[in-house]
Copies of this chain bind each other. A is one copy, B any other.
Amino acid sequence: MSGQEFAGLSCLVLGAGGFIGTNLCRALLAHGARVQGYGRSQPFPEALAGVHWTRGNFAEHEDLARIVEGNDYVFHLIGGSLPETSNKNPAANISANILSSVNLLEVCRQCGVRRVLFVSSGGTVYGITGSAPTPETAPTEPISAYGINKLTIEKYLSLYRYLHRLDYAVLRLANPYGPFQTAHRRQGVVAALVQKALVGEPVEIWGDGTVTRDFLHVQDVVEAMLAVLRYDGPERVFNVGSGIGRSVNDIVADLEGLLGRDLAKTFRGGRRADVPVNVLDVALIQRETGWSPRIPWLDGLCDTMRWMAQQP
A residues adjacent to B (C-beta < 8 A): 87, 90-91, 94-95, 98-99, 102-103, 106, 137, 139, 141-145, 148, 151-152, 155-156, 158-159, 162-163, 272
Contacts and interface: CB of A to CB of B under 8 A. Distances in A.
A142 B159 contact: yes
Shortest Cβ-Cβ A-B pairs, 8 listed: A148-B155, A152-B152, A91-B102, A94-B99, A143-B162, A90-B102, A94-B98, A87-B163
A239 to B, nearest CB: 16
Given A143-B162, A145-B159, A151-B155, A99 B103 contact: no
Contact of A99 (B95, B159, B162): B95
A137 B143 CA distance: 18
Contacts of A102: 90-91, 94
8 contacts: A94-B99, A141-B155, A142-B155, A143-B163, A148-B159, A151-B152, A151-B155, A152-B152
A103 B91 contact: yes
A152 B162 CA distance: 19
Nearest to A141: B158
Nearest to A105: B90
A159 to B, nearest CB: 6
Nearest to A272: B163
Contacts of A103: 91
Contacts of A139: 137
A214 to B, nearest CB: 22
B87 A106 contact: no
Contacts of A152: 98, 148, 151-152, 155
Contacts of A272: 162-163
Given A142-B159, A155-B148, A159-B144, A99 B106 contact: no
A159 B87 contact: yes
Contacts of A141: 155, 158
A158 B143 CA distance: 8
Nearest to A162: B143
Contact of A156 (B148, B162, B163): B148
Contacts of A163: 87, 143, 272
A68 to B, nearest CB: 16
A54 to B, nearest CB: 22
A231 to B, nearest CB: 20
